[in-house]
Amino acid sequence: ELLVTDNADMAEAIAEELNETNRERQELERNIHELARIDVANQGHKADYVTVVAAEDWHPGVIGIVASR
Protein backbone atom coordinates (compact mmCIF):
# COMPACT_ATOMS: atom_id res chain seq x y z
CA GLU A 1 0.00 0.00 0.00
CA LEU A 2 2.86 2.36 0.82
CA LEU A 3 4.40 1.92 -2.61
CA VAL A 4 1.21 2.32 -4.63
CA THR A 5 -0.69 5.09 -2.84
CA ASP A 6 -1.04 8.51 -4.42
CA ASN A 7 -1.89 10.04 -1.04
CA ALA A 8 1.26 11.56 0.52
CA ASP A 9 -0.32 11.74 3.99
CA MET A 10 -1.25 8.07 3.87
CA ALA A 11 2.22 7.14 2.62
CA GLU A 12 3.81 9.10 5.46
CA ALA A 13 1.55 7.46 8.06
CA ILE A 14 2.29 3.98 6.72
CA ALA A 15 6.03 4.70 6.61
CA GLU A 16 5.99 5.93 10.21
CA GLU A 17 4.10 2.83 11.33
CA LEU A 18 6.67 0.64 9.57
CA ASN A 19 9.51 2.57 11.20
CA GLU A 20 7.96 2.16 14.65
CA THR A 21 7.45 -1.56 14.10
CA ASN A 22 11.07 -1.86 12.99
CA ARG A 23 12.29 0.03 16.07
CA GLU A 24 10.30 -2.33 18.30
CA ARG A 25 11.81 -5.34 16.50
CA GLN A 26 15.32 -3.94 16.89
CA GLU A 27 14.78 -3.40 20.63
CA LEU A 28 13.42 -6.93 21.01
CA GLU A 29 16.41 -8.26 19.08
CA ARG A 30 18.86 -6.34 21.31
CA ASN A 31 17.20 -7.66 24.46
CA ILE A 32 17.23 -11.28 23.31
CA HIS A 33 20.82 -10.96 22.09
CA GLU A 34 21.93 -9.64 25.47
CA LEU A 35 20.10 -12.41 27.34
CA ALA A 36 21.63 -15.05 25.07
CA ARG A 37 25.10 -13.52 25.45
CA ILE A 38 24.78 -13.60 29.25
CA ASP A 39 23.53 -17.19 29.15
CA VAL A 40 26.50 -18.27 26.99
CA ALA A 41 28.94 -16.45 29.29
CA ASN A 42 27.42 -18.17 32.32
CA GLN A 43 27.82 -21.58 30.70
CA GLY A 44 31.59 -21.14 30.36
CA HIS A 45 31.75 -21.18 26.56
CA LYS A 46 34.32 -23.59 25.18
CA ALA A 47 35.55 -23.48 21.58
CA ASP A 48 35.13 -27.24 21.08
CA TYR A 49 31.42 -27.27 21.86
CA VAL A 50 28.17 -25.96 20.47
CA THR A 51 26.18 -23.82 22.87
CA VAL A 52 22.41 -23.74 22.61
CA VAL A 53 20.38 -21.10 24.42
CA ALA A 54 16.63 -20.64 24.35
CA ALA A 55 13.72 -19.15 26.21
CA GLU A 56 9.99 -19.66 25.74
CA ASP A 57 9.29 -15.93 25.61
CA TRP A 58 11.79 -15.15 22.82
CA HIS A 59 10.00 -13.99 19.69
CA PRO A 60 10.43 -16.53 16.87
CA GLY A 61 10.67 -13.72 14.34
CA VAL A 62 14.02 -12.50 15.65
CA ILE A 63 15.68 -15.69 16.90
CA GLY A 64 17.39 -16.28 13.54
CA ILE A 65 18.75 -12.74 13.51
CA VAL A 66 20.13 -13.16 17.02
CA ALA A 67 21.58 -16.59 16.20
CA SER A 68 23.47 -15.15 13.24
CA ARG A 69 25.32 -12.83 15.58
List pLDDT tens digits, range 14-52. Answer: 999 999 999 999 999 999 999 988 888 887 766 667 777
Q: Which residues of 23-45 are buried (b: 16+ CB within 10 A; e: fewer)?
A: eeeeebbeebeeebeeeeeeeee
Tell me the domain boundaries of the chain: 8-68
pLDDT bucket at 9, cuts 50 / 70 / 90: very high
**Dist. CA 46–CA 35, nearest whole Å:** 18
DSSP tally for the chain: helices H, then strands E = 2, 0
Q: What is the pLDDT, as a whole number, of residue 21?
A: 96
Contact predicate 25/61, CB 8 Å:
yes
- What pTM did the predictor assign? 0.69
Nearest to 14 by CA among 24, 5, 23, 25: 5
What's the confidence (pLDDT) of residue 68?
83
